[in-house]
Amino acid sequence: MSLLNIDNIHTYYGNIHALKGVSLNIEKGEIVTLIGANGAGKTTTLRTISGLLKPREGKVTLSGEDLAKYKAHEIVYKGICMVPEGRGIFARLTVTENLEMGAYSRSDKTEIQQNMERAFTTFPRLKERRTQVAGTLSGGEQQMLAMGRALMSNPSILLLDEPSMGLAPVLVELIFDIIQQINKEGTTILLVEQNALMALGIASRGYVLQTGQIVLSDSAENLKKNPTVQKAYLGME
């Protein structure tokens, strides 16, 4: 049984049919990437998985359990947490307070403290700036904080929406190294990323989304060699 299974979901914004029968699955321990052009439906897919949007058809299951009856915050309790595009940190709170907000659904104080230490170990810059107001952090530090806050919920699967957006190349490499480290420590990851080459470089498998439909799915290595993918998403002629 897959950890996460999306079966034939149709999601709408009003009368706009954004996702048209999207199906994908993620096994425990994988990094899977979802690539596609702007407006293809990548963020809509993540929002549907996380419960921010409800599909009109199809279903999302986690370890075989249908998530349709749960609200977005209850899906976090179940083990799915999303780091949104644009980070979405609490700009007026300190770094530590932002991390504490990630654990708002939990009452196990000892484990919360262990997760806090893990966040500071994974992101040493956050430890250095733990009393700093989050809105004054650099873009890269804010991305680290958003990821650290998500990890405070102790998710079984982490949804990452454009984690490299707006970052300098050296920080992009650092963020992708951290994504791999988080995965090696046991967190399954679904990665939406405009930088398709970087995403396919760390993923085991990938899906290509086009105007709300999955048009390709394969191993990351095969997708990198696919002429259509090379031309459309990797900048190769």
Q: Mean pLDDT throughout 165-171?
A: 88
Answer yes or no: is 48 within a domain: yes
pLDDT category at 95 given cuts 50, 70, 90 is very high
Answer yes or no: is 121 within a domain: no
pLDDT category at 166 given cuts 50, 70, 90 is confident
pLDDT for the residue numbered 19 = 98
Answer yes or no: is 92 within a domain: no
Q: Mean pLDDT throughout 172-200?
A: 94
C-alpha triplet 164, 123, 45: angle, nearest 5°? 40
Q: What is the pTM of this model?
A: 0.93
CATH of residue 70's domain is 3.40.50.300
Residue 236 pLDDT exceeds 80: no
pLDDT for the residue numbered 107 = 81
Answer yes or no: is 172 within a domain: no
Task: Tell me which residue range forms the domain holding 47.
Answer: 1-79+157-163+188-237
Domains of the chain: total? 1
Answer yes or no: is 90 within a domain: no
Closest CA to 122 of 201, 78, 183, 167: 183
Residue 237 pLDDT exceeds 70: no
Answer yes or no: is 91 within a domain: no
pLDDT for the residue numbered 223 = 97
User: Mean pLDDT over all residues of the chain?
Assistant: 94
- Other CB atoms within 10 A of residue 21 CB: 14
Q: Mean pLDDT throughout 63-76?
A: 96
Answer yes or no: is 5 within a domain: yes
Answer yes or no: is 152 within a domain: no
Residue 18 pLDDT exceeds 80: yes
Residue 105 pLDDT exceeds 90: no
Mean pLDDT is lowest, of 85-89, 134-138, 190-194, for: 85-89
